[in-house]
Amino acid sequence: MRATLDSSPREFGLRQRYRYARWPIRLASAGLIVGLFGGCGDSSDSPPPPATVTLSGVVADGLLQGVTACYDLNNDGACGSTEPVSSVTSANGAYSITVLATDAGAHAVIANVPATAIDQTTGVAIGVATTFKAPATGITGAQTVFVSPLTTLVQTLMDASGHSAAVATAFVKEQSGLSLSPLSDFTALPNDPNAQQAATLARLTVLTQQRLALALAPKLGQNDLTGTAITQADIDKSVGRALLGALPALTAAATDPAVTGAADKQAALAAAAQDLVATQPALDAADVLALIGATRSIDAGPVGTPTATATLRGFRYTDANNWTYRAEMATAGDNTPDANQLTRRYFLHAKAEAGATEQWGFGTVAKRQGDLHWNGSAWVACMLGQRSSQAVPDALGRRAYDFCNKFAEGVLQRSALDIAGQTLQNVVSLRIRAFPAGSEESGENGVDFVNWGPADLGLLGGGSFPQGSLLYYDTTQPLKSAFAYDVNNIATGWNAAVAAGGNAQADPTLACRQAFIGTLQASPVATLEALAASHQGAPCQVNSQTDAYGSSLTPNLWFNNFTAGMGNALDLVARPAGTGLFFTTIGNLRVSFTANSTAVTYYLCYARTTGTSILPDRIIDTVGAPRNCSVIGSGSYAIQTMGDARVMTFANLPTVMHRMGFNRVFIERGGTVYAGYQNAVGSMKSKVRLNLTAANAVFGVLGLAPLTPQ
């Protein structure tokens, strides 16, 4: 379409030069007409030029020189050729953009940061081209907009979830533990400790982003799981989303004394970024790669008359008497939107072991189906048949969900692949088992995707999927997670004499040795204060040990007597030289308390190997007692009341604790203290499922009862 003088500014963007160029012609024509016909019109009849305002601010990691900013009129996240643009920033990182007054506050500011841009904090080029964004302010008139890696996280969450700037800003602030808003100009307060923390986090965010993008660089140009070539924009988008889930770990690393007190802070930050990408589940490169394809083409949801639906999630089959699966089910009524435009679904876990079958609704194992969580007003369970809700998809296919009465809330996106006519064996082996995602975090129901389905694929025969068979790629992003606890996981504590520890090699009569050999037992604690009081003191030095697995360290220090367990992280430690298999490679994470204080100390411990545990597709060591722990940080605890319970939470958790995927909490309720948890939020995880038609095609071949929503 050709622009005319009557075209609206919003329709044709700014285009001021084009319109301004025609005003002199119109004025001259008006004067000529007056001269020829003696008319009385004058130039005051011409429309005035459109009102404009100035958007200004700075672009910063540190202040960045050599950056160009633009105003994203078409909301595509990139600078178009017709969009208002700034001149290149100078050493102070300042930019200025002139926009139509009618557009002010309605769009994001985009900053294109070339690899050659100079960071004034370091004095060197940033090294890798990137893009920073700042969300629309909603403010009319001239305004200041700060653009940084932290404002970019806010905009990234808005794009991914559909949430407002206010909600996204609050999420980033909470997850990063910042005192300042992530939209605040931290460069304006160089001597403020809170601003310094924000600046350090911003720098670490950029370095981590670059490191993760570098890990994915070999995938550039290759096909994703949809068969589409991966672009740099795809990588940048998925990396940005991954950073949202890593915010607590990024903050822990940025505030680590090893970074804040380093003589070469920039080198320490670079090392921290490398470690984060190598160890944090939220930054798993395989998951980021899966995210690219899974969000390529979003399904807007079913159309027409609602019908019963289901998706088969985790599935493992050995024979007719040994199998396990997890399905998400919905009747036609569940799929009919209510007055709030919500639909319903429920989860079914089923298992057969040596012919004995059981079903449950919540948790990957039946014994956890009774877990209780705080839904904002009561402690509730999520039993079999409990309906979860999700909103009707928006224009971009985003569906807000509430899982199990506020156990988790977030956003789901789904893309669908028609697999009708493809053989069952090919889909399972080439689509599901080859799904490019990390196994430990992305498996379902304790089954990694690489081992999905029957152990012997030949059991699927040579048949094909019928019409209506779909393979779904679901991407979920939890944004809220409830406090919860296992009703069987009761916290215990030791008496003061045991907690005091000591050298039991020199004095075998010490109470801690009696506890070590089992003569004394820990007892359940009734209050959170009793929990803290019973976990203060020192380790117990016991005799060195040798068993079928290997040998202990010397000295052999037992830490169970004065620390409480915070959880375990896989593959966190290397076995010490000369100990054989005495220790697992699982890192046991623990906490001790300080008398008359809310201060705590965090530990990373070796865990003794006490045997093996066989899961459906792997063998892992069984974690025994903690030995020879190292201090990895300090922090504090706080206690809050929730209904008839009191909840203890911990602050300033070390980076390694974020590898567990949850935060430990302790919950006092009814005179008992439970070891509870709050799952991590922010990470976008993609998983693969079969729809009802496809799932029942697989079940039919294997002789399993079909999925029947009810």
**Spatial separation of the C-alpha atoms in residues 10 and 104, rounded to whole Å:** 11
Helix (H, G, I), strand (E, B) or coil at 3: coil
3-state secondary structure of 456: coil
| Pair 573, 689 in one domain | no
pLDDT of residue 172: 98
Q: Beta strands of 354-460 (E only): which ranges?
A: 356-360, 372-374, 379-381, 388-391, 399-403, 408-418, 453-454
Q: Judge whether 189 lies within some domain.
A: no
Percent of the chain at pLDDT > 70 equals: 90
For residue 368, what are the β-bridge partners?
A: none
Read out DSSP for 196-263? Answer: HHHHHHHHHHHHHHHHHHHHHGGGTTSB-TTSPBPPHHHHHHHHHHHHHHTHHHHHHHHT-HHHHT-S
Amino acid at 650: F
pLDDT over 80 at 322, yes or no: yes
Q: pLDDT tens-digit profile of 521-562? A: 999 999 999 999 999 999 999 999 999 889 999 999 999 999
Q: pLDDT for 301-321, tens place per residue?
A: 777 899 999 999 889 999 999
Residues 169-188 have a mean pLDDT of: 97
| Number of domains within the chain | 3
When pLDDT is averaged across residues 128-145 and rounded to a whole number, the result is 96
Q: In terms of domains, do 378 and 453 share one?
A: yes
Q: For residues 404, 407, 410 and 413, what is the CA-based torsion angle, rounded to 10 degrees?
A: -40
User: Considering the domain boundaries, does residue 147 fall inside one?
Assistant: no
Helix residue spans in 389-470 (DSSP H): 424-426, 439-442
Are 317 and 301 a contacting pair, CB within 8 Å?
no
Pairing mode of beta strands 309-319, 143-144: unpaired
Residue 563 shares a structural domain with residue 696: no
- Whether 190 maps to a domain, the answer reads no
Tell me: do 343 and 449 sit in the same domain.
Answer: yes
Tokens, residue 462:
């040579």
Residues 403 and 541 grouped into a single domain: no
Q: How confident is the model at residue 360 (pLDDT cuts 50, 70, 90)?
A: very high
Residue 613: is its pLDDT beyond 50? no
Would you state the pLDDT for residue 30? 37
If asked whether residues 418 and 334 sit together in one domain, one would say yes
Query: For residue 127, what pLDDT band results from cuts at 50, 70 and 90?
Result: very high
Instruction: Compute the distance between CA of residue 283 and CA of residue 216 in angstroms, rounded to an integer.
Output: 11
Per-residue pLDDT tens for 71-97? 999 999 999 999 999 999 999 999 999
Q: Which of 7-11, 199-203, 300-304 has the lowest mean pLDDT?
A: 7-11
Q: Is residue 519 part of a domain?
A: no
Angle made by CA atoms 128, 134, 138, in degrees to the nearest 5: 170
Residues contacting 268, CB < 8 A, separation 6+: 258, 259, 262
Q: Is position 133 within any domain?
A: no
Distance CA 200, CA 273 (A): 12
Whether residue 544 is found in the same domain as residue 444: no
Q: What is the pLDDT of residues 368-386, one digit of tens each?
A: 999 999 999 999 999 999 9
Q: What is the structure's pLDDT at 44?
A: 57
| Domain-embedded: residue 128 | no
pLDDT value, residue 447: 59
Residues 411 and 447 in one domain: yes
Q: Please say whether the beta carbons of 207 and 270 come within 8 A.
A: yes
What pLDDT sits at residue 43? Answer: 52
In the predicted model, is pLDDT for residue 625 greater than 50?
yes
Give residue 396's pLDDT band: very low, low, confident or very high (50, 70, 90): confident
Q: Which of 253, 243, 234, 110 is nearest to 172 (CA)?
A: 243
DSSP secondary structure of 490-513: E-EE--HHHHT-EETTT-TTSHHH
pLDDT band at 45; cut points 50, 70, 90 = low
- pLDDT score of 272 more than 90: yes
Query: Quick one: DSSP state of residue 99?
Result: E
Q: Is residue 74 part of a domain?
A: no
**Burial zone of 682 (CB within 10 Å; 0-12 exposed, 13-18 middle, 19+ buried):** buried
Predicted local distance difference test score (pLDDT) of residue 446: 52
How far is residue 504's CA from residue 74's CA, in Å, rounded to a whole number?
Answer: 72
| Range 161-167 average pLDDT | 96
24's enclosing H/E stretch is: helix 16-37
Copy the structure tokens of residue 489. 């996981």
- The answer on 655 and 692 residing in a single domain is no
Domain that holds residue 581: 527-670
Q: How many CB atoms lie within 10 A of CB 316?
A: 23
Structural domain includes residue 239:
no
pLDDT of residue 624: 83
Residues 464 and 580 reside in one and the same domain = no
Whether 562 and 470 share a structural domain = no
**Is 314 in the same domain as 437?**
yes
Q: How confident is the model at residue 47 (pLDDT cuts 50, 70, 90)?
A: confident
Determine the 3-state secondary structure of 460 from DSSP. Answer: helix
How does residue 28 score in pLDDT terms, banded at 50, 70 and 90? very low
The helix (H) or strand (E) run that includes residue 172 is: helix 165-176
Torsion angle (degrees, nearest 10) of CA 247, 250, 255, 256: 140
